[in-house]
Amino acid sequence: MDTNVTGADARNLAMTRRIPAPPAQVFEAWTQPDRIKQWFGPYGMTTPEAEVDLCPGGFHRTLMRDADGKEYPNLMAIDEVAAPHRLVLRVVDDSCGPLVGATGTLNFEAEGEGTRLSVIWRHPTEAMRAAHEEMGFVKGWGETLDKLTAHVLASPTPCPGAAPPAPEHGWLHRLLGEWRYETECSMGPDKPMERATGTERVRSLGGYWVIGASEGEMPGGAMARWTISMGFDPVAKRFRGTFIGSMMPHMFVYDGRLEEDGHTLTLDTEGPAMSGQGMARYRDVVEMRGEDERVLTSQVLGEDGSWTAFMTSVFRRIG
């Protein structure tokens, strides 16, 4: 999940996304009807209609359509415009569900060469906030921001034959930023758990790839560096990636899928067996536990066909 349900105010829901594009470009994607129609809505939704009267007292109207043809009108009043850094929308009727009076504030803050987009929904009552969450705030807004990210990262001059970034590329960009990890690793039966710490920096490469560069301790105390690349193949509809590190000559090649829960990425690979003899099958499971935390669980396939976890790393955002 790329969300933060605020604790200070029980009537608020919030979400943040880091997008490697300038605020003006991201703001335009939210406010230009022709662009809104290209990305707006969760996975599987299209938006055949969009109108925007971009001024205080104006409106922001969309019509979404699902794969079965069911339509979802969405009319909001515009309470505030401060292009390209702030847009405040207010629900004015029940076409969006029981949310009349709720306001959504979108802040487009420059962060390096990109944008930190924060979405804060304020509700008149705690009951409305709970209803909004029950309607699928986390999943719906998370997927919508994935599609927005993919849209703004599309190159105006793509390589011949290259497909534009898919929503799954947008999902991978939830990982952008600076992280600190804490690892626990099993070193074998009847041996104590080993612990290690380090840092990771994840950046975007062309909108199609995210690259994570890590440095820190290995279980046992040795220092190491490693790099992970991760992308999405829109033809095979599979996540692809690699892992290389200073501690070994083997390159791990990932093949993976995003689980139905929308926040768990399962990656399968093959590498040297821990026994030192032959090869073994491994599985890394990446679970997003919020905007600022994710957990990586590494597993190995045993001779009996069962998976055994041998390492868990908790990543917490530091930037």
**pLDDT tens digit string along 103-149?**
999 999 999 999 999 999 999 999 999 999 999 999 999 999 999 99
Residues 143 and 240 in one domain: no
Q: Are 114 and 18 in contact (CB under 8 A)?
A: yes
Query: What CATH number is attached to the domain comprising 77?
Result: 3.30.530.20
Q: So what's the pLDDT on residue 2?
A: 47
> Of 154, 186, 206, at which residue does a domain stop?
154
Q: What is the pLDDT of residue 189?
A: 73
One domain for residues 290 and 223: yes
Domain extent at residue 278: 172-317
pLDDT, greater one: 191 or 26: 26
Residues 25 and 130 in one domain: yes
**Is residue 132 domain-resident?**
yes
Same domain, 303 and 198: yes
Is residue 302 one of the residues assigned to a domain? yes
Q: Residue 1: what pLDDT? A: 38
Q: Is residue 164, in this structure, part of any structural domain at all?
A: no
Q: Judge if 266 and 131 occupy the same domain.
A: no
Please answer whether residues 283 and 307 qualify as being in contact, where contact means their C-beta atoms are separated by less than 8 angstroms: yes
Region of poorest pLDDT, from 7-11, 53-57, 190-194 = 7-11
Peptide bond into 84 cis (omega under 30): yes
* pLDDT tens-place string over residues 150-165: 999 998 877 888 889 9
Residues 216 and 132 placed together within one structural domain of the fold? no
Instruction: Please tell me whether residues 117 and 220 are part of one structural domain.
Output: no
In a domain, 160, yes or no: no
Q: Are residues 106 and 236 in the same domain?
A: no
CB atoms within 10 A of CB 57: 9
pLDDT exceeding 70 applies to what percent of the chain? 97
Complete DSSP assignment for 147-193: HHHHHHH--SSPPTTPPPPPHHHHHHGGG-EEEEEEEEE--STT-PP
Looking at the fold, whether 148 and 245 belong to one and the same domain comes out as no
Checking if the pLDDT of 69 tops 70, the result is yes
Q: Give me the helices (H) in the chain, please.
A: 23-31, 33-39, 126-134, 137-153, 167-172
Average pLDDT over residues 171-189: 92
Cβ atoms of 120 and 9 closer than 8 Å? no
- We report the CATH number of the domain holding residue 253 as 2.40.128.20
Q: How many domains does the structure of the chain reveal? A: 2
Regarding whether 47 and 136 lie in a shared domain, the answer is yes
Q: Are residues 217 and 276 in the same domain?
A: yes
Residue 186 pLDDT > 80, yes or no? Answer: yes
Q: Mean of the per-residue pLDDT values for the chain?
A: 93
Q: Report the pLDDT value the prediction gives residue 158, as an integer from 0 to 100.
A: 76
**pLDDT-based confidence at residue 3 (cuts at 50, 70, 90):** very low
The last residue of one of the domains, among 154, 184, 212, is 154
Q: Where does a domain end: 154, 181, 201?
A: 154
**165 assigned to some structural domain:** no
Query: Do residues 181 and 149 share a domain?
Result: no
Taking 50 as the threshold, does the pLDDT of residue 7 lie above it? no
Q: Is residue 7 part of a domain?
A: no
| Structural domain contains residue 108 | yes
Q: Helix 23-31 and helix 137-153: axis angle, to 10°? A: 120
What mean pLDDT is predicted for residues 224-241? 97
The pTM is what?
A: 0.91
**Mean pLDDT, rounded, for 31-51:** 97
